[in-house]
Amino acid sequence: MRTLLIVNRLAVSHFLPLASVRWRVASSRPCSSNSSSQEQQRHSMLRHLTSKIKSTGPISVAEYMREVLTNPVMGYYVRNDMLGPEGDFITSPEISQIFGELLGVWCVSEWMGAGSPGQLQLVELGPGRGSLASDVLRVFGQLRTVLGETSVSVHLVEVSPVLSQVQATCLTGECNQASASEDEPCYHHGTTAAGLPCSWYRSLEHVPRGFSIYLAHEFFDALPIHKFQRTERGWREVMVDIDPEKPGQLRFVIIPNPTLACTLIQADEKRQHVEVCPEGGVIIQQLANRIAEDGGAALIADYGHGGTKMDTFRGFKGHQLHDVLSSPGAADLTADVDFSYLRGVAEEGGVACLGPVTQRLFLKNMGIDARLQVLLRNCTDPSTKKQLIQSYDMLTNPSKMGERFHFFSMLAPSRLHRHRPQAAQGLKMERKNPAPLPVAGFTELNL
């Protein structure tokens, strides 16, 4: 496995020395608003939802999720920085920078696997606090000699003004500004310390076309889902309504007649309860079209299942489970990603797919053990050593994040195929073409 050996060597020898390892878990989180204004916002979100339901009837779970998370004025993502120990949940890039470093190696490895094109767009969907992109870009800096004269640019798809400002500070320091008009597709731009242009968009369709490596970590689980229940009369949609017995509260109801969304359910569906994320399907379709036409690759990491789970809709507040219908806007809402659905859409879009594989397997294939050993060898401070081991355990332990999170990749079809021998000038030429480089992180090579 040539690529994997290269990956291990890069991971061991080229990365930052231990002295620069930061432990983000310990960092403090800037607060976007004080608690009394947060309280007011929550009440207005509930008022907004109840008046909507009063005027048009029950709303789909997808509409509920969309309003609660991304309403342009009151949405949970729009006005909060919710990541980190003082927030509502913590993610792998926030736990250890090794995570982003290994994904950075993956990006470079896939760029090499595509024949080292002269242009490379790093595109991240839902970049949170910007930590993953920052760690990936640091690896690009360490591998400057490998990337050579490649023109690298950074493109971030983010709906949250609060988080995009956190990302801008993380990636560009002071060197960024809002675009002249709010309505421009690229609403914010800046330059990283290494001089790379960095742009922000609200939607993937606005990101310029071209060879790109797309990253999406804990992005698809935040997209709105529709929920359906199998009944004696067939599939029916589950919606959100006002509880008639408790007027200030919401409840789930099963709609008596089929809704348009019921057509999303597969004819051979066996489960009793199903969640479908059509918005996730549309984004996968867009990614597949881009990768098939412009080249590149996508790496999607999230918690999810292979079309087997039923009710996974959850709320998180202060690192605890939170009732999804109570205090809308106060907690994160999420649903496990159905990777078999995403894979089906991707394959229809003409790209090659790998995975999903567990985070544990992916990180181990990427050389996380070797990287940890190097850091431990160079570390003299016992508390840093302890933190290194703890965060490694959190990322890879099967009972923690190791088996709950999965990695799925979409690649240009040519990436996994041997090139056909070509006939030259009418002569039958048996030109030996080398096998394509294996794809780092994935052991499975299903063509």
Q: Which residues bind ligand SAH (CB under 6 A)?
A: 69-70, 77, 83, 91, 93-94, 126-128, 132, 157-160, 163, 217-219, 222
Instruction: In angstroms, give the least distance from the CB of 320 to ligand SAH.
Output: 17
What is the greatest pairwise CA distance in the chain?
83
Complex with ligand SAH: residue 216 or 265, whichever CB lies closer: 216
C-alpha to C-alpha distances, 384 to 11, 13, 141, 393, 439, nearest whole angstrom: 19, 20, 25, 14, 32
Of 226, 374, 359, 221, nearest in space to 283 by CA: 221
Q: How far is the CB of 77 from ligand SAH (least distance, A)?
A: 4
Residue with tokens 């310029």: 208
In the complex, minimum distance from the CB of residue 270 to ligand SAH, in angstroms, rounded to a whole number:
30
CB of 156: closest distance to ligand SAH in angstroms? 9
Give every CB contact of residue 65 below 8 A, 6+ residues apart in sequence. Answer: 223, 224, 225, 333, 335
| Residue number with CB closer to ligand SAH (67 or 158) | 158
CB of 2 to ligand SAH, least distance (A): 30
CB of 163 to ligand SAH, least distance (A): 5
Closer residue to ligand SAH in complex, CB, 114/163: 163
Query: What residues contact residue 301 under an 8 Å CB cut-off, 6+ apart?
Result: 92, 216, 217, 218, 359, 362, 405, 406, 407, 408
Least CB distance from residue 128 to ligand SAH, whole Å?
3
Residue keyed to tokens 């330059």 = 191
Return the DSSP state at 442. Answer: -
Write the single-letter amino acid at 189.
Answer: H
Q: Which is nearer to ligand SAH, 29 or 230 (CB)?
A: 29
**Which residues share a beta bridge with 304?**
337
- DSSP E strands in 288-387: the ranges are 296-305, 314-317, 320-322, 332-334, 337-338, 352-358
Which one, 200 or 341, has the nearer CB to ligand SAH? 200
Name the minimum Å distance from CB 162 to ligand SAH: 8
The residue among 89 and 252 lying less far from ligand SAH, judged by its C-beta, is: 89
Cβ atoms 198, 191 nearer than 8 A: yes
**Calpha distance 414→54 (Å, rounded):** 53
Peptide bond into 278 cis (omega under 30): no
